[in-house]
Chains A and B, each alone.
Chain A
Amino acid sequence: MESVNDWQARLEDTTLDPARKTTRNYYAFLFFLLAVTGWGMYAYSLQVRRGLVVTGMSDRISWGLYITMFVFFIGISHAGTLISAILRVSHAGWRTPVTRMAEFITAVALVTGAFFVIVDLGRPDRLINVLVFGRWQSPIVWDVLAVTTYLTASVVYLYLPMVPDLAFFRDRLAPWVSRPKHLLYRILAINWRGTSGQKRHLGRAISIMMILIIPIAVSVHTVVSWIFAMTLREAWNSAIFGFFFVAGAIFSGIATLIVVMAILRRVYRLEEYITPKHFLYLGYLMAAMAGVMIYANLSEYITAGFKFEEGTEFLFRQLFIDEFAPYFWFYFIGGLMTPIVFMFIRRLRTIGGIVTAAVFVDMGMWVERYFIVVTGLRAPLLPYEPVNYAPTWVEWSITAGGFAFFALLITLFVKAFPIMAVWEMTEERREEFEEMVEYEHEFDGEDVLASGVPDLAPEPEGGGPP
C-alpha cells in the first residue's frame, strides 16, 4: 500500500510541474491569446479616439455586447463562490481538488467583467465622477459598491487558502525560477512556516471569509440585475429578476468551471485528482440549476403572458416569434434542456458529454444575457418604430479580446501559482488514512503511518470534514 508521503510527493510534483516546465505549445497558445487581446485593445483605442459612434449602439439601444459581456462574466465569477465557499461551509469532501480553479475563475472573471463596464463608457475618464458625485440612490453606485467589495473579497478568498501552497512553492521552486519570481513567492507566502499560531490565524481568516463571501456574491448579481429591473422597461420589470440573475450566474459559473477543469486536467495530466466523479457531481449540480432556470423562466413569462399588458405583446412577439426567436430558443433548448437531457441519459453522462453540455450552457447563457439586454431596450417607450442593433466589428473585436483576456489571465495564473490546493488535499488524504488506520488497528495493529504524517495544513475553524 502506498504511504501518504509517496502520495503527497506525487501530488506535489504534479502541482509543481506547470511552474517548472513550459512547453512550446504553451508559448504558442500564449502568443495567440496575446494577439487576440492586442487586437481587442487596438479596437478599443479606436473607440476611445472616435467615441462610441464606432459601435452599433445608438440613443435607443444604448447597451449591447459590452453590457452582455459584463453581466456574463460577473455571472461566471459565481463559480468560485458556489463551489468553494458553499462546499467548504458544508464540508463536502470531494471539492478540494477543484476549489482553487473555481476561486481563480472568480477573480479573473470579475476583473474581465468590471473592465467591460469601462469599455461601455464613451468617456472612460469620467468614471471618476461616479466616485466624486456618486449618490447611493443610484443603481449604478450600488453596482460599483457591490463589485468593488466582491472583487476585494474574492481576491482575498483566493489568496488565503493559497498561502501554505505559496510557501511550498517558495521552498521547492528555488532552482527553477528566477530571483525576482522567487522573491514574489517569498512576499506572497508571508513568512508561512506552518506553526500552530499561523494555522490558527489563517484558519480563522478562511472561516470568516468563506461565510462572508456568500452574501456578498448574492448581493453582487442581485444589484447587477437591478441595473435593469430598476428602470421603466417592460422586459426588465420583474420582481424575480434578482433571483433569476443569481441562479443564472451560478448556472453559468458551474459550466465554466467544468470546461476549465476539463482543459487543465487534459493539459497538466490531473486525471488522478480530478476524477469522473467531479464531473458527475458538478454535472448534476448544473442540471439542477438548469431546472431552477427553467422554472424561473416559466414563472416570469407565464405571469406576464397571462395578463398580457400592452407592452408585453411587443416584447413576446420579438422574443418568441420574430427577431430574437432563434436566440431565445437556442438558449431554452440548447442552454437549459441540454444539461438535463445529458445527465439523464447514461451514455451521455460521460466526461465528454458533460463538458459538451457545459459548453452549450455557457453559449446559451451568453446569448441569454445578450437578448435580455437588447430586447429590453428595443421595446419602444416612445411612439417610434423600433430600431435594430447590430454590433460593429469594433464591438466584436473588443468582445473577442475580452474572452482572450479571460483565457490569458487563467493561462498566466496556472503558470505562476499552484493550481490545486495541495495542503487541503494532503490534509484530507491524511484524515482518510487515519480513519483507515484506526479501522485496521482494530484487526491487526499494523502501522501504515510509520513514514510519518505531513503536517502542513491549517485547521479551518469549526472542524474539517469528518
Chain B
Amino acid sequence: MTWRRLGRWGTLAILVLGFLLLGSGGAFADHWTVEVSAPEEGALGETIQLTATVHDAATGEPVEGAELVFFSSVTFAGVGGDIELGEALTNDLGVAVFDYELRKLGTHTITIEGGGEPNILSFPVTIGGQLYRSPAGISLIPGAGGWVVTLVIGAIWVIMIIVGVSVVRVSRGSPPAGNEAEAEEDERERSAGTKWLNTATMVTAVMVVVAGGIVALLIRSPNTHHNRDPVGYDRSAVAFVEGAYAYPDFGLADDAAAEAEIGRGLFVTFGCAGCHGVDAEGTTTAKSPASASYDWVRQVTRNGQPGMPSYSEQELNDTQLNEIFAFLAETRGELGG
C-alpha cells in the first residue's frame, strides 16, 4: 500500500521537475543577444564560415558554450520545412563558427536558432572553381590489397576446373562390363574423334585459359589509386583529335588563317570543344558560338554564364582569345552561319 502511494507521488514529482527543467531552458536563452554574420557572397564549391556572436543580455559579457543550430529551408511538393545543417558552440569570446559548404547556386537563406528569436542570414552564391575532389577511399583489408580478390576469384575458378575435370572423366568412362556389343560401340565412338575432341575437354580447356587470364589481370593490376596522390593530377585537356590541331605554343602567326589554325587547337586544349563541338558546330550541350559577336564571346569567356566556366586573363590571355575568335570567324564561313 505504501509502495503504491510512494510510486504515485514519485511520478508526480518527476513530472513537475521535468516541466521546471523544460521551462528553465527557454528562460536561460532569453538572456542572450546573438549577432550573426556571413560573407557578402560565396562561390559554388567554397566552404564559407557563418559566425554567430553571443553576449549575455544583462551584463554584455560573451557567453561560452552556448549552442546554436543552423537550418536551411526547403519546399517539396507543397510541403516546406527547415533542414538542420548542424550545430556550433561558442568559444570563450562568445563566437561560434559554422563551416558551410556551398553546393547550390542562387540565394541561400540560413536560419540560426538559439537565444530567443531566430536570426536569418541571406547571401547569393555564384559560380566558382572546382566543386569536389574525392579523397582516397577505404581499403578493405589494409595491406592485403588485390591478393584477397585474386584468391577468392581464383578459388571459384579452381572449383569450376575441378567440375570440368570430372566431366572429362564422364567422357572417358569405361564401357559397361560384360556387354561386348556396347563396349565395341564405345570404342568406335572414341576412335571417331570424340575421345579428346569433345565438349568436356574443350570446356575444361576454355575454363583454364579464362581463369589464367583473369588471374593474370588481377596480378598485373597496379595496387594504388592515382587520386591517392593528387600531385600530377591536373585538369588540362588530354584529347587531341588525331594530332591535326596545333599546340598553343607554336608561336604567333601573322595571317588570319594561321591564327585561326592556332585558335582551332586552343579550342580543343581549353576544353571548349568538349561542349561546343570540335568544329564549334554546337552540340546538345551547348550552342554553336560561331556566329556570336566578338564582344559577346569575350564577355562570356571572361565572366562565364550558367553552364559555362569563366576563363581569366591568367588562364587564357587576350592573344589566345583573339586566336580562338579568328577560328570562330573562319568556321562561320564554313558553317554558313
Contacts and interface: CB of A to CB of B under 8 A. Distances in A.
A408 to B, nearest CB: 23
A440 interface: no
A160 B307 contact: no
B176 A141 contact: no
B229 to A, nearest CB: 14
Interface residues of A, number: 54
B141 to A, nearest CB: 13
A155 B210 CA distance: 14
A159 interface: yes
Contact of B167 (A160, A310, A320, A385): A160
Contacts of A208: 159, 162-163, 166
B214 A191 contact: no
Interface string B195-220: 00111100100110010011001100
Interface in A233-274: none
A212 B159 contact: yes
A152 interface: yes
**Binding site of A, secondary structure by majority: helix, strand, loop or mixed?**
helix
B198 A190 contact: yes
A188 interface: yes
Interface stretch (B149-157, B252-260, B325-333): B149-157
Nearest to A390: B284
Interface in A188-214: 188, 190-193, 195, 197-198, 201-202, 204-205, 208-209, 212
Interface in A385-433: 385, 387
Interface string A298-314: 00000000011110010
A50 interface: no
Interface residues of B, number: 62
A127 interface: no
Contacts of A204: 166
Interface string B134-166: 100000000000100110010011011011101
A308 B74 CA distance: 9
Given A187-B199, A191-B190, A308-B74, A383 B217 contact: no
The listed residue with most A CB atoms (<10 A of its CB), out of B170, B172, B173, B285, is B170
Given A59-B285, A141-B217, A232 B134 contact: yes
Interface of B: 44, 74, 76-77, 81, 83, 103-105, 127, 131-132, 134, 146, 149-150, 153, 156-157, 159-160, 162-164, 166-167, 169-176, 182, 186, 189-190, 192, 194, 197-200, 203, 206-207, 210, 213-214, 217-218, 221-222, 225, 274-275, 283-285, 306-307
Query: Closest 9 A-B residue pairs measured CB to CB?
Result: A190-B171, A384-B307, A198-B173, A135-B221, A205-B166, A136-B146, A201-B169, A136-B221, A201-B170
